Amino acid sequence: MTFVVTDNCIKCKYTDCVEVCPVDCFYEGPNFLVIHPDECIDCALCEPECPANAIFSEDEVPEDQQEFTALNAELADIWPNIAEKKDALPDAEEWDGVPDKLQYLER
């Protein structure tokens, strides 16, 4: 079992989640974070820390966001690790809650 970062993280990237992860399994792209499914120990600490409510347990990913499970696995293999909190993207608040942000994902 792993946790999965979903749509509402895109263009927000608050990074509160990375501070609490005991195994540092977050990976960072230009405007999105992902969790490495083979490294996540299923501790659930990150889920309540996300101001954008973008993190779900693998078995609770909303129906319309199922593709994010595979996307986390794919991008975690490519992107660099992030273990410390940094500033959110400048227009994060503006984008928080905007639906269907996958089209804006930068790789």
Stretch of 52-60, 64-72, 73-81, 99-107 lying at the interface with ligand SF4 (CB under 6 A): 52-60
Q: Cβ distance 82 to 15 under 8 Å?
A: yes
Residue ranges in 53-82 that form contacts with ligand SF4 under rule CB under 6 A: 54-55
Query: Phi then psi for 54, rounded to 5 degrees?
Result: -100, -5
Which residue in the set 7, 11, 13, 95 belongs to the binding site for ligand SF4 (CB under 6 A)?
A: 13
Which residue in the set 4, 11, 29, 33 belongs to the binding site for ligand SF4 (CB under 6 A)?
A: 33
Q: How many residues interact with ligand SF4 (rule CB under 6 A)? A: 26
Strand positions, DSSP E, the chain: 3-5, 26-28, 33-35, 55-57
Tokens of 25: 């399994």
Q: Cβ distance 35 to 81 under 8 Å?
A: no
By CB under 6 A, name the binding residues for ligand SF4. Answer: 3, 5, 9, 12-17, 20-21, 23, 25, 33, 35, 40-46, 50, 52, 54-55
